[in-house]
Amino acid sequence: MEILHHPQHHTNRNAVGRPVGIMGHGAYIPRYRLPAREIARVWSDPDTVPVGQEKSVPGQDEDTATMCMEASANALSRAGVPPSAIEAVWIGSESHPYAVKPTGTIVAEAIGATPLTLAADLEFACKAGTEALQAGMGFVGSGRGTYALVAGMDTAQSRPGDALEYTAAAGGAVLILGPAAEAPVTINHALSWVTDTPDFWRRPNQPYPMHAGRFTGEPGYFQHVLAAGRKLMEDVGSRPSDYRHVVVHQPNLKFATRVLTDMGFRPDQWRRGLLVGKIGNTYAGSTLLGLSAILDHAHAGDRILAVSYGSGGGSDAIDMTVTRDPAPWRRRAPETADYLARRVVIDYAMYARMRDKIQT
């Protein structure tokens, strides 16, 4: 079979009928925290782990659906949009509670958006949340619907003793999308950059993902995030100095800070959205959760760049502008920082029990 390549078709454009904006946002992070030193105590040398690093762990009664419900309630409160007006509910995650049964219908029913709504689950490893965002932009921008709820949320899986166990965490965020004319935040431009790069995968019936070690860095994460971010800035004619805030997918602190530096951003631009050292990598929720922390304190005129990454592999880059003062948001729902501060430290045994590492 011959595969024909058409370079003129490789530029992503916002081919939508009307501008799209973010009406409201909401975060959720479980209260339980497992320190990295506690993991190292069980599996390796505690002196090799950075002091202060920890990850969020969902309780036994928490999953992607329940966490989306609270984040959705926060986002709806900020947006001022009644649940019955939501015409699409799209949940991006790599830890949906059912293999066959959508998380989207559970969340739509719980918030009161059923029955006249679309509902679906999206998967693309850690960029499933921004994939849902891109789909929502097309839905609202085309005029197919007025309001859409999109989420990136995960209860990340990790094999006991694997390197992923230090950072694989839980949490995420929800955005309510609507016409830009009604929204405090306008989405200016978005694009995707994808290739077949098998750096991370999980086969059917396997409880834990596999990864290609350092291979996931250079040909995976760094290639896609840098390419997507730079291409977007080229398309819109912007420079790093034009942005007040930037957030990227955060598999770990080293990767995130390196890629931001390589793109030309200063630490003061990424400080608010860089959460991985406090709660770990929330996978599909990572980029949207960092964006939520930024929007909690954004001001009119702020320009924001977000670049996700999903193994497999691909990145979404989104350029946004805060068009009017979003101060009322802060009085309507808990901020991301409130969930960060609400922490209960647990040991490895409690973590193993909560995450079903011990089969009984």
pLDDT by position in tens, the chain (length 360): 333 333 333 334 444 479 999 999 999 999 999 999 999 999 877 666 665 689 999 999 999 999 999 999 999 999 999 999 999 999 999 999 998 999 999 999 999 999 999 999 999 989 999 999 999 999 999 999 999 999 999 998 888 888 888 889 999 999 999 999 999 999 999 999 999 988 776 778 777 776 776 667 678 899 999 999 999 999 999 999 999 999 999 998 999 999 999 999 999 999 999 999 899 999 999 999 999 999 999 999 999 999 999 998 899 999 999 998 887 777 789 999 999 999 999 999 999 999 988 776
**What predicted TM-score, i.e. pTM, was given to this entire model?**
0.92
Annotated active-site residue in 38, 62, 70, 94:
94
Q: Please tell me which residue in 25, 62, 70, 126 is annotated as part of the active site.
A: 126
The dihedral of CA 46, 213, 95, 281: what is its sign?
Answer: positive
The confidence score (pLDDT) of residue 161 equals 85
Which entry of 68, 70, 249, 335 is annotated as an active-site residue? 249
Q: Is the peptide bond before 313 cis (omega within 30 degrees of 0)?
A: yes
In order of 65, 201, 238, the CA distances from 27 in angstroms are 13, 27, 29
Q: Is 62 a catalytic residue?
A: no
pLDDT value for 215: 61
Q: Minimal CA–CA distance to 229: which of 203, 194, 202, 192?
A: 192
Residue 11: per-residue pLDDT: 39
Burial of 276 (0-12, 13-18, 19+ CB in 10 A): buried
**102, 92 in Cβ contact below 8 A?**
no
* Per-residue pLDDT at 137: 98
In this prediction, residue 213 carries a pLDDT of 65
Tokens, residue 135? 């789909």
pLDDT at 2: 38
Residue 68 known to be catalytic:
no
